[in-house]
Amino acid sequence: MTRVAEIPNQVKRIWRHSFQSELDSALEQQMRAQALAGVQTVLESALNAEVEADRHTATDPALRGAYRSGYFTRQVLTSFGAIPTVHVPKLRTGNRLRPWRILQRYQQTMPAVLDKLCYLYTMGLSLRDLEEGLYVLFGHVLSRGAINRVTLAAQSPMDAWHTQRLTDTPPVVIIDGVWVSIQYPTTETWIDRSGHERHRVHAQERVILAVLGIWPDGRHQLIHYSIATAEDAASWQAVWRTLCARGLDAAQVQVVVSDGAKGVLAAVQQELPQARLQRCTVHKVRGFAQYLRYTDLPTVDADANPLSREAARHHRQQAMKTAALAIFDAPTRIEAEGRLQTFIATWQPLEPAAVRNFTFGIKRCFTFYQLDAALHRLVRSTNLLERFFREVRAKTDEIGAFPNDESCLVLFHLIMLREHAKHDRLDSA
């Protein structure tokens, strides 16, 4: 509470010592007061109209014809600031039955403010940033708990999204996981300043398993995400069973793209018998770097200039990566396998361990050739999902440890909606 009370003074200090120019203080206060007075008048008129409409049109006998019974006051945060005493009309009976539309029961923040807070939250603002930003914008500070409730306003549509039917099974899915830190209560307790007993919490690592669907026309979007303790076969089996329960046709899934995490193949064979595994080509190429031994490095470059050992090591690694990636740029599998043989012949004598690692199980890197050529770039790696995970990591790194599973999933859901809207991806599933 003390920290919340200090925010106004903190913001004023920052504002005073920054480059922003202020309106005259009296003029600013007058403009804010006039704007709030207008908002309060409109809001109270709308609330009165809502109650009158319910009295005359309600089908419930307890509401129809009910007498008015004065008002109660509520503080409401609007886009223009906080109104300390909004007069909310009530009926003599049936208030609990009445559908509250303009202001929900106990609601203290207008929807426009909630939407703006959720938007800023998905852009990476921490809860502390939101508290400070609210004071700058509205001259009012919400507590950390209140802002937590604001972000959880997205939980209801998120729950609906998780249960909606999948009516169009994508033939290709990309799967991967992103690790986050979430706090969980322990058996230990402690006493806070108010004398209340609290459970100690401990941050634990969890993984969000995500599934991104790709359709033949190139459309792609997330169709599932959930929290798990590991990226193992049991966790991925649970994912596939959940998706099948929502309407995914396991027989129509042709290809599953993965970075090669353990347990994925077993889960796919168990739950998606018609699907073949596509090993991410980018991860495959990255993997052999740790096996490079850098034997017989050149001492001069192509122009006969002296070459340092560090530069020679970098040149070899880049040359091998470029040649390896070029294998998967081939338009046909036959040509790709020919490029692979050239790669082996070129680099085997110099880097046998790296070549052995690269060629082990490489046939699964060629699965994408069974699909239409227009999809090759999208489905030969997990890059589509990795790009989205970069957005997630940028936000989760700022937040640190989430207070619970729900807050973590809500943020993931909001980022997903923002990314789909940014790239104009309609709901394909």
Q: What's the pLDDT score for residue 247?
A: 95
- The Cα-based distances of 8 to 12, 118, 124, 128, 148 in angstroms read 6, 22, 22, 13, 20
- Apex 26 CA angle, 23 and 28, nearest 5: 45
Residue 329: other Cβ atoms inside 10 A: 13
Across the chain, which has 429 residues, the per-10-residue mean pLDDT values are: 65 60 60 69 78 76 77 78 83 77 64 62 64 66 60 74 92 96 88 79 94 94 95 95 96 94 90 94 94 90 87 94 96 97 96 96 96 95 94 85 86 84 59
Rounded Cα–Cα distance for residues 122 and 406 (Å): 15
Rounded Cα–Cα distance for residues 32 and 283 (Å): 56
Rounded Cα–Cα distance for residues 231 and 263 (Å): 7
Rounded Cα–Cα distance for residues 241 and 328 (Å): 32
By CB atoms closer than 10 A (0-12, 13-18, 19+), residue 349 is exposed
Rounded Cα–Cα distance for residues 242 and 180 (Å): 22
Per-residue burial over 386-411, b if 16 or more Cβ lie within 10 Å, else e, is: bebbebbeebbeebebbbeebbbbbb
Which residue has 């409409």 as its token pair? 53
Quote the pTM value. 0.71
Cβ-based neighbours of 369, under 8 Å, separated by 6 or more? 332, 333, 336, 376
Q: Where are the alpha helices (DSSP H) in 201-351?
A: 233-245, 264-271, 281-287, 309-327, 333-347
By CB atoms closer than 10 A (0-12, 13-18, 19+), residue 428 is middle
Q: What's the pLDDT score for residue 132?
A: 72
Name the phi and psi angles at 356, rounded to 5: -65, -40
DSSP string covering 204-217, please?
EEEEEEEEEEE-TT
Q: What's the pLDDT score for residue 418?
A: 79
Residue 83, classed as helix, strand or coil, is: strand
Q: What's the pLDDT score for residue 429?
A: 46
Per-residue burial over 300-317, b if 16 or more Cβ lie within 10 Å, else e, is: eeeeeeebeeeebeeebb
User: At 111, which amino acid appears?
Assistant: P
- Apex 301 CA angle, 295 and 304, nearest 5: 125
Rounded Cα–Cα distance for residues 323 and 346 (Å): 10
